[in-house]
Amino acid sequence: MKTVKGPAIYLAQYMADDAPFNRIEAMAEWAASLGFIGIQVPIGHAAFIDVAQAAESKTYCDDLKGRVGEYGVEITELSTHLEGQLVAVHPAYDELFDGFASEAVRGNPKARTQWAIEQVTLAAKASANLGLTDQVSFSGSLLWPMMYPWPQRSTGLVEEGFKELAKRWRPILDAHEEAGVNVCYEIHPGEDLHDGVTFERFLECVDDHPRANILYDPSHFILQQLDYLSFIDIYHQRIKMFHVKDAEFNPSGRSGVYGGYQDWLKRPGRFRSLGDGQIDFKSIFSKLAEYDFDGWAVLEWECCLKDQLDGAREGAEFIKAHMIRVTDKAFDDFAANGSDVEMNKRLLGI
């Protein structure tokens, strides 16, 4: 068994224009002051990482690691959530997602898709130069507006959607194979890969590509009413990354899973700071230890109630309290009789 690494923190929800949240060194120092030893870094902010330069220069990456390491912190993984989202965008969301892209490709869906593919591919090379083995992304979505089967979907629509999604991702996955880095899709509502069934559909379309893997975040599963513990049993071989994020689901006679178009504060399913929700993290950490998960436990803060700074401070301690330092011996080793083939035969009466 292996002991999970951590605690680490995903920087995206904390990055801002004011210090210490406006550059990677200052955020590394801030994270270390709270007890984190790792940071997960989005690629879209030059003050944190120049992904094109990181893809080309190991010297740049060594310097970046050194600047972060001065505070006792390391980069755990890169994040291409926004760029991955733009690999596949249904026309209904063109305008809403356009702001995620470089200004040069906004308003041009084909150019935007190609830009997104290039950015996620650069992250593969950058990750390799940083000595990382995993990066997290969204799959994007061509089918999400058809999530509910009314009006009745035309024959072959879902199959065609996954075929196109796989066509766009296959060269990215191949580039990650060449770099020795996994793409870990965050299984997430709004994405075509939003549960186990859709992940399996995608895997089939990319011929079970070894670099197509999973970031496990139980908060998205409780909001769907999916069994987040059984998910680990089923997909543990593909789970390479872990966001530690809490959530709760409190349905009423007025609203359920779909949320009634309400804001986050009023929805039955909503994200919470660690320890304030309903997720059974003791069982999650136990299962990850059982299945030899050797990645990082990364706090992702998303809460409609608690201040984000309190969420970070409390989250570091929460993760530390749940991490299992695995044992290297069985509890009853003191009573072991050793190995004796002849005695075993006698005990069995043979």
pLDDT in tens, 156-187: 999 999 999 999 999 999 999 999 999 999 99
Residue 330 CB: number of other CB atoms within 10 A?
A: 9
**What is the torsion angle, in degrees rounded to the nearest 10, for the CA atoms of residue 167, residue 171, residue 172 and residue 175?**
160
Q: Please identify which residue in the block is written with the tokens 């063109």.
A: 94
Confidence (pTM)? 0.95
pLDDT one digit per residue (tens) for the chain, 350 residues: 789 999 999 999 999 999 999 999 999 999 999 999 999 999 999 999 999 999 999 999 999 999 999 999 999 999 999 999 999 999 999 999 999 999 999 999 999 999 999 999 999 999 999 999 999 999 999 999 999 999 999 999 999 999 999 999 999 999 999 999 999 999 999 999 999 999 999 999 999 999 999 999 999 999 999 999 999 999 999 999 999 999 999 999 999 999 999 999 999 999 999 999 999 999 999 999 999 999 999 999 999 999 999 999 999 999 999 999 887 777 666 667 777 888 888 889 99
> Domain 5-348 adopts which CATH fold?
TIM Barrel (3.20.20)
Q: Closest Cα partner for 135 from 337, 296, 250?
A: 296
Degrees, nearest 5: CA angle 310-273-308:
35
Structure-token match 């083939």, residue found: 341
Domain residue ranges of the chain, discontinuous segments joined by +: 5-348
pLDDT digits (tens, 9 = 90+) for 229-240: 999 999 999 999
